[in-house]
Amino acid sequence: MAAEAWRPGRAALSIAAGALVVASGVLAAGGFAEADPRNAATAATAAAATAAADTQTLPFPVGYSRWTHIKSGLINPGHAAYARFGGLHHIYANATALDGYRSGRFADGSVLVYDLFEATDKGDATIDQGPRRHIDVMVKDSARFAATGGWGYAEFAAGERRDRLRTAQRDGCAACHASQKDNDQVFSRWREDSALEPAPAQQD
């Protein structure tokens, strides 16, 4: 998953599979019966340990809405990716990533953000931006993320600041983005009719 990986691929399948595994685990443990507090405590401890051991997590991109806006798009019902990425999305790039859009090669330190919202039909032939669904992030670090094409991937649920992806899901994002290897794993493109200006100074 990725920052703008709205296209269907292994990322969506990996997340769906992960949800199925979690749901199956709950049912197998008797999810509708009264839970044993000791089991709950053990599960919480294991989850915390798993999160702590995941060295691929990324921080929330504070201030990204003040970066350069690259493009917006709308994914409507009927699209194969609608369940996962349906709605109105905006893509933002930090200053380092702008040179990547121009050259097709993104330097370490490039950050892309895919900000997804529900699309609200107002009933008067207009579509408005609704509640946020989630935020996807791509960060270029060739050494740290060598196994996934030099990019790290993260996803933040609406209102959350903790990366919720796990290794298998990130691998799915990377596999999907690999189809764009000629553009350094990035789906969105530089528009020649756009005069992108440098992003303002980033403040965290």
| Rounded Cα–Cα distance for residues 202 and 21 (Å) | 40
- Predicted local confidence at residue 34, as pLDDT: 38
- Predicted local confidence at residue 24, as pLDDT: 31
- Predicted local confidence at residue 62, as pLDDT: 97
| Rounded Cα–Cα distance for residues 109 and 145 (Å) | 12
pLDDT by residue, tens only, the chain of 204 residues: 544 443 444 443 333 333 323 333 322 333 323 345 455 555 555 545 444 456 789 999 999 999 999 999 999 999 998 998 999 999 999 999 999 998 999 999 999 999 999 999 999 999 999 999 999 999 999 999 999 999 999 999 999 999 999 999 999 999 999 999 999 999 998 776 665 555 455 554
Q: Identify the CA nearest to 64 among candidates 102, 99, 91, 87.
A: 91
- Predicted local confidence at residue 202, as pLDDT: 53
Q: Burial level of 181, CB count in 10 A (0-12/13-18/19+)?
A: exposed
Q: In this structure, are residues 171 and 151 in contact, taking their beta carbons and an 8 Å threshold?
A: no
- Predicted local confidence at residue 7, as pLDDT: 41
- Predicted local confidence at residue 14, as pLDDT: 39
- Predicted local confidence at residue 11, as pLDDT: 40
Prediction pTM value: 0.69
Q: How far is CA 113 from the centre of its chain?
A: 8
- Predicted local confidence at residue 15, as pLDDT: 36
